[in-house]
């Protein structure tokens, strides 16, 4: 049986990534990060698109080279169709469409959020179907019931802000440089998670909300710094630890409820926030308590990367699930 060689491109936000997958094995996965956004304290969509345009050709070329193949060996090209920043998605999408048309090979569109879930099939061990995935990123917080590789159902999601956004906005309140989420994780490891009490949002069923928590943190910091201008610098570790504890407590309570309601004990985490050390630790602790089989992705597959696009495309290729060259990019793309 001939090899299935797929070139995958991910450009949904500010990372330009390309990967090559051969028969379901990711053999190269390269990402160019964009440092330009640091001075603005967040991603600037227009600048992100420009940087993708500069980065995409060298990143793709290096991914192909590292895989030890040539362009003529590629059977299909995959790309992130959405969700994401429109300008960024267009760069990756147009490149992939042009590549597929030039080589007369199939084109595969991939949902970015489904790809985060399927990143768990890049390396062993892999979860058994069906399983529950807690997907946590800067733009999304979801609980996904995964019945099959390409059959997923969102059974819980945020009704406003995502958990990752709560981390990032808190970091901004604390005057931490962008990206602030990893810094909160770093300082939290040195602090007391019970130093300060923040209100956990009480949302029905399996949905989430973090906008109220952000407001709670803002008012708390305003009150404390009014009486002590040095409060943040003096108590930074404890603030970070307390905020992180609250966010992760919300996440864990919801996934516990989802596991109880579905009777599923195969539990995974995915998305950029799955790189958070405390979330990874708590999943293991809670998993041991409830006798779950838990799965935590390798760090390189937590953040946006083309490896997850490639493995998703592999499963779609097996079903001949290809798309037309004129398929539209969708910044807001649902399952």
Report pLDDT digits (tens) over 143-175: 999 999 999 999 999 999 999 999 999 999 999
Q: What is the pTM of this model?
A: 0.94
Report pLDDT for 2.
61
Residue 324: pLDDT band with limits 50, 70, 90 = very high
pLDDT exceeds 80 at position 250:
yes
Rounded CA gap, 142 and 44, in Å?
A: 25
State mean pLDDT over 250-275.
Answer: 96
Mean predicted lDDT score pLDDT of the chain:
94
pLDDT exceeds 90 at position 35:
no
Strongest mean pLDDT among 30-34, 194-198, 331-335: 194-198
Rounded CA gap, 5 and 305, in Å?
A: 18
Report pLDDT for 37.
72
158 burial class (0-12, 13-18, 19+ CB within 10 angstroms)?
Answer: buried
State mean pLDDT over 122-132.
Answer: 97
The position carrying tokens 């709670």 is 216
Report pLDDT for 22.
97
Rounded CA gap, 112 and 12, in Å?
A: 8
Lowest mean pLDDT, pick from 21-30, 45-54, 124-133, 226-235: 45-54
Report pLDDT for 43.
77
- Residue 140 DSSP class: -
32 burial class (0-12, 13-18, 19+ CB within 10 angstroms)?
Answer: middle
Strand pairing report for 131-136 and 107-111: unpaired
Contact criterion met (CB below 8 Å) for 274 and 280: yes
Within a 10 A sphere around the Cβ of 175, how many other Cβ atoms? 11
In 34-137, the DSSP E strands lie at 76-82, 107-111, 131-136
The position carrying tokens 């920043």 is 85
Start-to-end CA distance of the chain, whole Å, equals 32
What is the percentage of the chain residues whose pLDDT exceeds 70?
Answer: 99
State mean pLDDT over 314-333.
Answer: 96
């Amino acid at each position: 049986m001939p090899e299935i060689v797929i070139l995958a491109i991910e450009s949904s936000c500010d990372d330009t990534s390309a990967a090559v997958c051969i028969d379901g094995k990711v053999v190269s996965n390269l990402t160019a990060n964009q440092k330009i956004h640091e001075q603005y304290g967040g991603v600037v969509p227009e600048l992100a698109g420009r940087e993708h345009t500069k980065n995409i050709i060298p990143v793709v070329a290096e991914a192909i080279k590292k895989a030890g193949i040539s362009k003529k060996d590629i059977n299909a090209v995959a790309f992130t169709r959405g969700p994401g920043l429109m300008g960024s998605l267009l760069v990756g999408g147009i490149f992939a469409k042009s590549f597929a048309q030039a080589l007369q090979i199939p084109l595969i569109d991939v949902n970015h959020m489904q790809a985060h879930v399927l990143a768990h099939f890049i390396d062993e061990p892999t979860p058994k179907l069906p399983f529950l995935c807690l997907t946590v990123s800067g733009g999304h917080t979801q609980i996904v019931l995964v019945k099959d590789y390409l059959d997923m159902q969102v059974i819980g999601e945020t009704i406003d802000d995502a958990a990752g956004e709560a981390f990032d906005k808190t970091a901004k309140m604390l005057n931490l440089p962008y990206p602030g989420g990893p810094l909160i994780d770093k300082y939290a490891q040195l602090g007391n998670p019970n130093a300060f009490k923040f209100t956990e949002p009480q949302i029905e069923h399996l949905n989430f909300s973090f906008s109220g928590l952000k407001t709670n943190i803002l008012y708390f910091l305003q009150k404390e710094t009014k009486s002590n201008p040095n409060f943040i610098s003096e108590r930074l570790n404890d603030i970070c630890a307390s905020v992180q504890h609250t966010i992760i407590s919300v996440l864990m309570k919801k996934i516990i409820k989802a596991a109880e309601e579905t009777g599923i004990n195969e539990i995974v985490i995915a998305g950029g926030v799955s790189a958070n050390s405390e979330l990874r630790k708590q999943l293991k602790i809670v998993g041991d308590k409830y006798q779950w089989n838990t799965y935590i992705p390798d760090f390189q597959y937590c953040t946006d990367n083309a490896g997850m696009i490639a493995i998703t495309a592999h499963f779609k290729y097996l079903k001949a699930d290809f798309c037309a060259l004129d398929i539209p990019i969708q910044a807001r793309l649902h399952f």
